[in-house]
Amino acid sequence: MSAITASARPRAMAEPRKVEARDIKRRDELAAEERELVQILDSLKKSLSELYAQFGYMTDAALIDACAYEILSVSAKYAYYLRRCKERKICAV
């Protein structure tokens, strides 16, 4: 008779994990956050497009400066939300 060592024993099958309500709620929350990120990105993209169009029609130096700063501001926000999407591996745009 040979003794069975601990490493040679067959491993027990892992029981399937039960899906609980909190897991479903968490998944729904994540999906809602992802949708929100995509909506914010779309909104910022539209804002940038509008700002670039406005920039082309500006004639006053002060308005040109204001529009340029706003373009920089919205571009920074867009870059931030795009980075968050990439971190979460969300294909948005």
- Is 87 a member of any domain? yes
Q: At what angle do helices 21-57 and 61-87 cross, to 10 degrees?
A: 160
- Is 73 a member of any domain? yes
- Is 60 a member of any domain? yes
- Is 67 a member of any domain? yes
Which has more confidence, 28 or 1? 28
- Is 24 a member of any domain? no
Which has more confidence, 7 or 78? 78
Q: How confident is the model at residue 78 (pLDDT cuts 50, 70, 90)?
A: very high
The tokens describing 17, both together, are 């994990």
- Secondary structure element (H or E) that encloses residue 65, with its range: helix 61-87
Residue range of the domain that includes 81: 45-93
Q: How confident is the model at residue 88 (pLDDT cuts 50, 70, 90)?
A: confident
Asked if the model's pLDDT at residue 79 lies above 80, the reply is yes
High-pLDDT (> 90) share of the chain, % = 44
**Domain tally, the chain:** 1
- Is 26 a member of any domain? no
CB atoms within 10 A of CB 41: 19
